[in-house]
Chain A
C-alpha cells in the first residue's frame, strides 16, 4: 500500500475537493504547494518555484512543448559519404589500427556471407548478419579497452571480433558443438566470453540494459577505471527495461555507455511506428544522461564519440547515450524476408552509403589500403572462415547429459533423478535418438 501511496493521496485530495466544492484550479495550487500556505491560511506569492526535484522558473505564457519548439539533435560525422574525402579531424589513430579496423570489418562481412549461405543450405539452424552496421560495431569497440564490460543484443558480432573472439569460436557457437563454451544450449549468434568480458547474449530484448547498469555500479564500487558498454536496437528501446536502465543509470550514477543501433527497422516495423519523438537520442537528456547522435556508418565518428564517452564515464562515473544512425542492409534474420515490407529502391539507396566502402575510400585516399591488399585480405579471410566452418561442422555435439548441468551451481536431487531416468530411457531406445552426433560422457 505504501508503494501506491500517491494514487491514494491524489484520490483523497480529489474527494476533499468535491466535498469542499472549491474551484479546481485553486485547489490544485493548495494541494501541490502545501508549504506555501501560511498558518493563517493565506497563500503567499512566491517568485521562485519550490517544487521538489525540478529547478525552473514560473511562466505566465500558456505554452505546450512539442516538435516545433524543439531542435532535433544533429548527427555527428567525420567521414563524408561522397567520394571526395574531407580531411578528418584528429582521431589519434595510427595507420596500423586503422587498417586493423578495416580488416575486422572485412572479416565480419565475409563471415556473415558464408554463415548466411550455410543457413540457407540447412547446415546451421539460424543466423543474423551484421551488414551495414560493421562500422558502428568496430568503431565503438576500438574505443573501448578489454577491461570494459560489454552487454550486447545480438547484432554486435563485430565487437566480439574486435576483442579477439576467433572465427573458430563463432563457428563452434553457431554449430553448438562440444567446443562451444555455452555447450550448445543457445541458438546461433548468442555468443559470450568471460575472458573477453563479453556477457553471454540472450534473446529477450533489452533485459541486458538494467543488468549492464548493475554491472556498471559494481565497477564503480570496485574503483576499477573501466566502464560498461551496452548495445541495443531502436526497437528494443521501446521495452520497459530501457526506461528502467536509463533512469537507474542516471539516478545511481553508473559509468555506462548506452549504444543504440538505430537501423530504421525492428524486424518489419519501421522506426516511424516505433517512436514519434526525436529518435532515441532525445530521451537521453530527459533522463539527465549526456547524449550524442552519431553517423553509425562513419567508423571514425563512432570511434571518436565512444572514446569521448568512455573518458567521461570513467572520470565522472556517469552514463552516456550514443544513438548510432545506420541502416539494416540485410534481412532481420534468416527467418525473415525483408522484401515483404521494404522496397528494393530503399536498399539500393543505402548501398551507395555502405560503411565499409566509405572507410575503404578514406584509407585509400591516405594510401593505407589498395586494391591488391583488398584482394589478398579477402582471399585469406575466406579461406580461414571456410576452414573453421568445416572444422566446426565435423565436431561432435556435447554429451547430451549437459542438458542437465549448470541449471544450478550443484545438481539438486530432483534433477539428478531426471538425468538418470533419461539415461535409462536412452539406453533402452538408443536407435531412436541421434546419440552418434553427441559426445559420450
Chain B
C-alpha cells in the first residue's frame, strides 16, 4: 500500500515536472511535491543499434533480462524481488527464468550479502538487491570485511568478483531518514570494492552490466527518484561502460562542476543558470564511478577552469567530495583560482519535511558557483 502511495506521488510530480520544463522556473504548489531537479535526457550514445524509450527501472530490468539470458549461472535475489521488486526492477524475470534463478530471501540484509558472496565464490553470477541503500548497513560487515577482502586475504585463491549488489539510494522527495540516504562514501573507504552510481536509464543499464561482468565485487547505487522520472532512448543490445571512468556531460571553461547520480541533473541546470545569469560556461562532470574514481579527468578539467564546485546529496563531513577536493588540491595546486567548494547535504540525518532545505539544490550550487567566480 505504501508502494502505491509512492507511485502516486511520483505520478503527481509529473505535472509540476512538465511545468518546470515549460516555464524554466519552479513554483511550488502546496499539495504537490516538486522535483528538485529537471531530468536531462542522456544524449550520449552508449551503444550502436536499436534503441527503445525506457525509464530507469525498465532499463535495469532490460539489463537483468539480458544477463539471465546470456549467463546460465546468473541468479537474482533479495527481499521481494520475485513479484517484480518494490521498484519494479525485476518485473517478469521470475516468470521467465524460474524460481531457482530469481527468488525472494528472508528479510535479512547481512544474510543477503553473505549468501551472495558464497554464490560468487563458487562461480555463480550473484546479483543481490538491498531494498534501500539505507538498509545496507546490516550487510556492512559482509561487504567490507568479507566481500572486499576475499581475493586479497586468500592470495588470489578465492574471490567473489561475480557479486553485484544493487541498492536504490538518494533523495526521493519524502523519504525521511531511512529512504533517502546516499552511503557511497562509507564504501569508498574500502579497498577491494567497486562503487558506481548512474545518472539515468542508458547509463544505468551499461553500468549494471559492467558491474555484473567485472571480476571484482561491485555495488551499484541506483538513485531511486530516477526510476520513473528519467526516460532515455536506451540501446536494446548488450553494452558495458568502463568502471573508473568519469563523463564530461557538458564542456565549459569557467568552472568545473562535479557530481554523480541525480546531482548531475541539478548541476546541468546550474550550468544553464550560470550561462544565462552570469554569462560564463561551466564544465559538468559526472563522476559515475566512486571507487575507483577518475582523478585524472577531474584534475584535467580543474586545471583548465581553475575553479571547482563539488556537489553531492550525502553529508559534508567526510563525504566523497572531501576526497576529490584534496586530490585536486594536491595535483593542480598552482592552477587553482579559488578554494574548492563543496555543496552537499548538511551534517544532519536526512530530514522529512525539511528536505527542500537539506538538499544541495540548484540555488545552493548556483550560489557556490557565483562565489568561486567572484573570489
Stretch of B137-145, B200-208, B311-319, B333-341 on the interface side: B137-145
Give the residue of A181, A200, A210, A408 whose beta carbon is less than 8 angstroms from that of B111.
Answer: A210
Give the residue of A2, A3, A215, A414 whose beta carbon is less than 8 angstroms from that of B295.
Answer: A414
Q: Which residues of A contact B157 (CB under 8 A)?
A: 181-182, 192-194, 200
> B154 and A200: CB pair below 8 A?
yes
Q: How distant is the Cα of A255 from the Cα of B132 in the complex, in angstroms?
A: 30
A175: shortest Cβ distance to chain B, in Å? 14
Q: Which residues of B contact A412 (CB under 8 A)?
A: 244, 292
A316: shortest Cβ distance to chain B, in Å? 16
Give the residue of A183, A216, A245 whose beta carbon is less than 8 angstroms from that of B114.
Answer: A245
Give the residue of A8, A202, A245, A248 whose beta carbon is less than 8 angstroms from that of B153.
Answer: A202
Q: Which residues of A contact B214 (CB under 8 A)?
A: 409
Of residues 176 through 195 on chain A, the ones whose CB sits less than 8 Å from some CB of chain B are 180-183, 185-186, 190, 192-194
> A406 and B3: CB pair below 8 A?
no
> A211 and B118: CB pair below 8 A?
yes
- Of A180, A194, A252, the most chain B CB neighbours within 10 A belong to A252
Asked if A217 is at the interface (CB within 8 A of a chain B CB), the reply is yes
- Of A8, A180, A243, A414, the most chain B CB neighbours within 10 A belong to A414
Stretch of B58-66, B99-107, B248-256, B265-273 on the interface side: B99-107
Q: Mark A227-269, 1 if CB is under 8 A from B, else 0.
A: 0000000000000110111011001100000000000000000
Given pairs A221-B124, A240-B110, 7 additional interface contacts (CB within 8 A): A3-B79, A181-B155, A185-B155, A214-B122, A214-B124, A217-B119, A412-B292
> B122 and A218: CB pair below 8 A?
yes
Q: How distant is the Cα of A273 from the Cα of B101 in the complex, in angstroms?
A: 41
> B106 and A5: CB pair below 8 A?
no
Q: Which residues of B contact A405 (CB under 8 A)?
A: 156
> B118 and A212: CB pair below 8 A?
yes
Asked if B247 is at the interface (CB within 8 A of a chain A CB), the reply is no
Of residues 1 through 57 on chain A, the ones whose CB sits less than 8 Å from some CB of chain B are 1-5, 8
- Of A3, A204, A245, A413, the most chain B CB neighbours within 10 A belong to A3
A221/B141 contact (C-beta < 8 A), A2-B131, A214-B126 known: no
Asked if B14 is at the interface (CB within 8 A of a chain A CB), the reply is no
Give the residue of B115, B156, B194 whose beta carbon is less than 8 angstroms from that of A217.
Answer: B115
Asked if A199 is at the interface (CB within 8 A of a chain B CB), the reply is yes
Q: How distant is the Cα of A202 from the Cα of B160 in the complex, in angstroms?
A: 14
Closest CB pairs A-B (n = 4): A214-B118, A210-B114, A244-B111, A211-B118
- Of B3, B105, B115, B126, the most chain A CB neighbours within 10 A belong to B115
Q: Which residues of A contact B121 (CB under 8 A)?
A: 199, 211, 214-215
Asked if A149 is at the interface (CB within 8 A of a chain B CB), the reply is yes
Asked if A207 is at the interface (CB within 8 A of a chain B CB), the reply is yes
Asked if A209 is at the interface (CB within 8 A of a chain B CB), the reply is yes
A204/B2 contact (C-beta < 8 A), A2-B131, A199-B158 known: no
Give the residue of A182, A190, A210, A217 whose beta carbon is less than 8 angstroms from that of B110.
Answer: A210
Q: How distant is the Cα of A210 from the Cα of B128 in the complex, in angstroms?
A: 13
Q: Which residues of B contact A209 (CB under 8 A)?
A: 114
Asked if B191 is at the interface (CB within 8 A of a chain A CB), the reply is yes
> A5 and B1: CB pair below 8 A?
yes
Q: Which residues of B contact A192 (CB under 8 A)?
A: 154, 157-158
A226: shortest Cβ distance to chain B, in Å? 11
> B142 and A207: CB pair below 8 A?
yes
> A217 and B154: CB pair below 8 A?
no
> A407 and B111: CB pair below 8 A?
no
- Of A4, A183, A214, the most chain B CB neighbours within 10 A belong to A214
Q: How distant is the Cα of A67 from the Cα of B86 in the complex, in angstroms?
A: 41
